[in-house]
Amino acid sequence: MASISYREAGVDIDAGDDLVERIKPFARMTRIPEVLADVGGFAGLCAVPAGIEDPILVSGTDGVGTKLKVAFLTGVHDTIGQDLVGMCVNDIITCGARPLFFLDYFGTGKLDVGVAETVVRGIAHACKEAGCALLGGETAELPGMYASGEFDLAGFAVGVVARARLVDGKSVAAGDRLLGLASSGLHSNGYSLARRVLFDAMGLLPGDRPAKLGGQTVGEALLAPTRLYPRHVQAVLAAGVDVRAMSHITGGGLPGNLPRVLPEGMGARLHAAASVGWRRPGIVELIAERVEEEELRRVFNLGIGFVFVVPEAHVTRATEALRAVGEQAIDLGVVVTLPEGTAFEARVLFS
């Protein structure tokens, strides 16, 4: 009886080992003092930083969603790793946490070492920018689970914050101001709708250059990587700003994310039309040709990737702290009191 090898069954152990060796240098470049072991063991080891009184660990996990479909369609894989890191670390910093480490999961039907290396390289560069270590991960070759040439990504981030410095939204009050940070585009949300509109309904191709994209191709606009906001948050907190809440604007847009960090009875009044610096990315304006305004608002970030809630007296300090790191704060609006029982998404008012 003929013997069957694991490779013949669809799993190439040698390719997996090759990938591990290739990504070790990427992990090393993200190393922080708290990391205790190199990539390759059964577990990643990271100490809690010294000098943090009553430390609280903050964690988050996410994926990239169907933005991956655009990467498969275009063959561009060098930015999707930043999306993965951004979706995780931008969540945990809303509590005031410093990102400590990140782990990734890469699952595919047949491992393409070159593609996987490119993806992990992007993850590592994003980790370095976010100030956290790429502590480890998992690569799984699963024959029959994925279409040819496709893969899935998931990530997991852990950060730390002193209990006394935890940002939890409890002190938010009417009259507090909302300061936004621009997004780079759609980030990693709403791609099922975006692809349906652009590719199916409008018949566009990834290489097309519609006028609303200002010279970009459709593929380039869709693959613009998620911005990383940890250094912006750290700059504002280090400046002594009384940050009362922070929100990462992901799936659900502004109506679905701002209420998550506001106390009951509080809402946000956004002056979108009059806000200086608030510009919708061209890709949003293009999608708007086939999608109603209310649906746009509840699916896409509309050009705002992150929001600070600060008291009026600290607006100037926060603005200056952001300017010092090369960022323009966008005056989005104000916190308002709402009638009891106001529906969740109705707590964000556009004017």
pLDDT digits 0-9 by tens, 223-238: 999 999 999 999 999 9
Question: Model confidence at 341, in pLDDT bands (50, 70, 90)?
Answer: confident
Grade residue 81 by pLDDT with cuts at 50, 70 and 90.
Answer: very high
Any idea which architecture 13-37+53-165 has in CATH? 2-Layer Sandwich (3.30)
Q: What is the pLDDT of residues 250-274, one digit of tens each?
A: 999 999 999 999 999 999 999 976 6
The DSSP output letter for 173 is: -
Instruction: Provide the pLDDT for residue 273.
Output: 66
275: pLDDT strictly greater than 80: no
How many beta carbons lie within 10 A of that of residue 279, not counting itself?
A: 14
User: pLDDT by residue (tens digit) across 121-134?
Assistant: 999 999 999 999 99
Mean pLDDT for the stretch of residues 328-340: 95
Residues carrying CATH 3.90.650.10, the chain = 177-350
pLDDT at position 115 is 96
State yes or no: pLDDT of 276 exceeds 80.
no
Q: Determine whether domain 177-350 maps to CATH 3.90.650.10.
A: yes
pLDDT of residue 229: 98
Q: What is the pLDDT of residues 151-207, one digit of tens each?
A: 999 999 999 999 999 999 999 999 999 999 999 999 999 999 999 999 999 999 999
pLDDT higher than threshold 90 for residue 89: yes
Residues 161, 58: contact at Cβ < 8 Å?
Answer: yes
> What angle in degrees, to the nearest 10, is found between the helix axes of 230-238 and 315-324?
130
Cβ atoms of 159 and 98 closer than 8 Å: yes
Looking at residue 262, its pLDDT comes to 96
Answer for the pair 125, 78: CB distance below 8 angstroms, yes or no. Answer: no
Token pair, residue 227, equals: 């911005």
Is residue 157 within 8 Å of 86, Cβ to Cβ? no
pTM over 0.75: yes
Q: Which tokens go with 63?
A: 């994926």
CB 305 within 8 A of CB 248: yes
Amino acid occupying residue 300: F
User: Does the pLDDT of residue 240 top 90, yes or no?
Assistant: yes
pLDDT at 274: 62
Q: Where in the chain is CATH 3.30.1330.10?
A: 13-37+53-165
Contact assessment for residue 70 and residue 195, using Cβ atoms and an 8 Å cutoff: yes
Report residue 143 as tokens: 């024959």
Whether 318 contacts 309, CB under 8 Å: no
Average predicted confidence (pLDDT) for the chain: 94
